[in-house]
Amino acid sequence: MSGSEELIKICHKVYEKGFVSAYDGNLSMRISTDRFFITRSGVCKGEVKETDILEIDGSGNKIKGEGKVTTEYKIHILAYNNRPEINAVIHCHPVYSTAFAAKEEGFENPVFPEVVLTLGKIPLCKYATPSTDELPESMEPYINDCNALLLQNHGAVTFGSSINDAYYKMEKLEHIAKTLFVARLLGGEKNIPEQKLKQLYEIAESTYNLKPNSKY
Ligand SMILES: [Zn+2]
C-alpha cells in the first residue's frame, strides 16, 4: 500500500469512528525529511480520495495537488519540525476527548496502566484561535514530550511513528475519555497507587520508549 493509500484508509476510519464530523480534522504523514502528505482543506474525511491529498514542505507551502492547504497545517508542521521521530499527525474532534478539553481538563493523572505505558501524560493546551499562530504556540510547551494533546475548546492531536500508530493513539485517547466519563457517573476514578506507578515506569523504560517528561 502506498503512503497516500494508507493515509486515505485512516481518513475513512476516523470518520467511521465518529472522531470528526463534516469537514473537521486533518491528517498528515511524513514522506521525506521535509515533505509531507496532508488532507486538503474542506473535505469530509469519510470521502477523501487520492486527489484530496496534497504534498507540502516544512513551511506549509503546497508542492503538489489541487485545492487549498488546511489552515491547521501549523499543528502538523510544529510536530514534524521538532520531532524527527514523528512520521504522522492526526487532528480530530472526538466527542469525549473534546468534551474534556471544553471542560478545561487534560489527562494528567495516572488512572489506566496501558495509558501510563503507551501514551503518557496528555496535557491540555490553552485555548487558541484556530488558523492563527496562537495554535502552534499553545502546543509548544508540550510538543517535545507528548504522544497526544488536547486543545482547549477545540479537539485532540496525536503523534505517531506511522499513520497507524497515530490512529491507534487517537482511538486510545477517545476510549479513555469515554471510560473516565463513565467512571465519573459511577462516583469518580481513583489513581494508580504511587508505589505501583514506579513498577510501571520500570516496564515503560525497559519495553516502551516513553519520554521521561511524559511520566505522571
Ligand atoms: Zn480542529
Q: What percent of the chain shows pLDDT beyond 70?
A: 97
Question: For residue 110, which of 200, 211, 213, 188 has the smallest C-alpha distance?
Answer: 200
153 in Cβ contact with 102 (< 8 Å): yes
Q: What is the pLDDT of residue 201?
A: 85
pLDDT tens by residue, 5-57: 999 999 999 999 999 999 999 999 999 999 999 999 999 999 999 999 999 99
Q: Which amino acid is at 90?
A: I
Strands 62-64 and 53-57 turn out to be: antiparallel
pLDDT beyond 80 at 212: no
How far, in Å, is the centroid of ligand 1 from the Cα of 209?
Answer: 28
DSSP state of 156: E
pLDDT tens by residue, 144-162: 999 999 999 999 999 999 9
How far, in Å, is the centroid of ligand 1 from the Cα of 191?
Answer: 30
Q: Is 72 a catalytic residue?
A: yes
- The SS3 call for residue 10 is helix
State how far the Cα of 11 lies from the Cα of 74, in Å rounded to an integer: 19
Q: Which amino acid is at 113?
A: P
Give the cell for residue 118: 503507551
Q: Which of 5, 47, 55, 72 is catalytic?
A: 72
> What is the rounded average pLDDT of the residues 189-206?
88
106 in Cβ contact with 120 (< 8 Å): no
How far, in Å, is the centroid of ligand 1 from the Cα of 135?
Answer: 10
Q: Which residues surround ligand 1, an ion (CB under 5 A)?
A: 155
Q: Which amino acid is at 52?
A: D
How far, in Å, is the centroid of ligand 1 from the Cα of 24?
Answer: 6
Give the cell for residue 1: 500500500
In sign, the C-alpha dihedral spanning 209, 33, 156, 143 is positive
Task: Please tell me the total count of domains within the chain.
Answer: 1
154 in Cβ contact with 127 (< 8 Å): yes
Domain that holds residue 88: 3-214
State how far the Cα of 167 lies from the Cα of 52, in Å rounded to an integer: 19
Task: Using alpha carbons, list the distances in angstroms from residue 125 to 10, 61, 142, 207.
Answer: 25, 26, 8, 29
The model's pTM is: 0.95
How far, in Å, is the centroid of ligand 1 from the Cα of 206?
Answer: 35
Radius of gyration (C-alpha) of the chain in whole angstroms: 17
How far, in Å, is the centroid of ligand 1 from the Cα of 91?
Answer: 6
State how far the Cα of 31 lies from the Cα of 68, in Å rounded to an integer: 19
Looking up residue 155, the CATH number of its domain turns out to be 3.40.225.10
